[in-house]
């Protein structure tokens, strides 16, 4: 079971993308296992320069299966933007699989990230303002929306309504912000559903089969250990 993990030992920007791109040339599978689109891996090859924020670097090898794993938080907008850019340059993206258990990064996560940072003033954390932290908060609270919820549009809409109801209480009480429209948010995300559906899979059995077949797997880390909640700066 040859599994190689590429992780950053500092604060990110250690050159992980280049290493993963090199390893992916011989890999059967590349897995992004955590994080979101708050950092990018820059890859330069014969097709040009690419900065991938959520798509695994193995996407340039047509023989490599690329998985956006369960531990990630996924902005459907950013994901589709990256896929469209890759497709426009002739790169086949059919080998990209998206874990049904990954969490969806919603528009209100981005809004909350910005408002929270503004409220901190001089004590701001310096986040990328892309909603990663608020999305993980919902995941830990067991109130988040998973990618697999898109398989049932009615259920997805119900979950959006519950989330927006709670978020509106927070937005209005803490930030005097106008109420969000749950149906508008649900409609925006559901408009991307058809493009996302072919990629949404239960990825665990696929990974288990790859391990059983002794396939080469690369785990693509994001950011670095010194940004870890437990072992990095807090």
177 and 116 within one domain:
yes
207 and 93 within one domain:
yes
215 and 184 within one domain:
no
98 and 7 within one domain:
yes
Q: What is the pLDDT of residue 207?
A: 97
Task: Work out the number of other CB atoms within 10 angstroms of the CB of residue 78.
Answer: 16
How do residues 119-135 score in pLDDT, each as one tens digit? Answer: 788 776 767 778 899 99
Number of domains in the chain: 2
92: CATH: 3.40.440.10
- Whether 132 is covered by a domain: the verdict is yes
- Whether 234 is covered by a domain: the verdict is no
- Whether 232 is covered by a domain: the verdict is no
Angle among Cα 226, 229, 234 to the nearest 5 degrees reads: 75
Tokens standing for residue 10: 């500092």
- Whether 151 is covered by a domain: the verdict is yes
How do residues 108-117 score in pLDDT, each as one tens digit? Answer: 999 999 998 8
Query: What φ, ψ does residue 3 adopt, rounded to 5°?
Result: -115, 125
213 and 184 within one domain:
no
26 and 141 within one domain:
no
Catalytic residue numbers? Answer: 13, 41
159: CATH: 1.10.300.10
98 and 116 within one domain:
no
How do residues 178-219 score in pLDDT, each as one tens digit? Answer: 999 999 999 999 999 999 999 999 999 999 999 999 999 999
Containing domain of residue 8, as a range? 3-102+198-227
**Distance between CA atoms of residues 53 and 57, nearest Å:** 10
Q: How many CA atoms lie within 13 A of 104 on its CB side?
A: 29
How do residues 153-178 score in pLDDT, each as one tens digit? Answer: 999 999 999 999 999 999 999 999 99
DSSP code for 181: -
């Amino acid at each position: 079971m040859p599994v190689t993990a590429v992780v950053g030992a500092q604060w990110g920007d250690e050159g992980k993308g280049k290493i993963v791109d090199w390893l992916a040339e011989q890999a059967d599978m590349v897995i992004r296992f955590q994080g979101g689109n708050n950092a990018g891996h820059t890859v330069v090859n014969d097709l040009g320069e690419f900065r991938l924020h959520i798509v695994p670097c193995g996407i340039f090898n047509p023989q490599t299966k690329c998985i956006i794993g369960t531990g990630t938080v996924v902005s459907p907008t950013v994901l589709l933007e990256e896929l469209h850019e890759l497709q426009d340059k002739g790169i086949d993206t059919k080998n990209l699989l998206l874990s049904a258990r990954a969490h969806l990064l919603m528009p209100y996560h981005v809004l909350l990230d910005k408002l929270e940072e503004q409220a901190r003033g001089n004590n701001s954390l310096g986040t990328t303002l892309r909603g990663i932290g608020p999305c993980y908060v919902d995941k830990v609270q067991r109130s988040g929306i998973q990618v697999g919820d898109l398989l049932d549009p009615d259920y997805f809409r119900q979950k959006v309504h519950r989330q927006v109801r709670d978020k509106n209480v927070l937005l209005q009480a803490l930030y005097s912000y106008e109420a969000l429209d749950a149906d508008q948010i649900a409609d925006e995300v559901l408009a991307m559903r058809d493009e996302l559906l072919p990629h949404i899979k239960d990825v665990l059995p696929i990974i288990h089969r790859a391990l059983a077949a002794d396939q080469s797997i690369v785990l693509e880390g994001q950011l670095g250990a010194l940004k870890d909640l437990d072992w990095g700066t807090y």
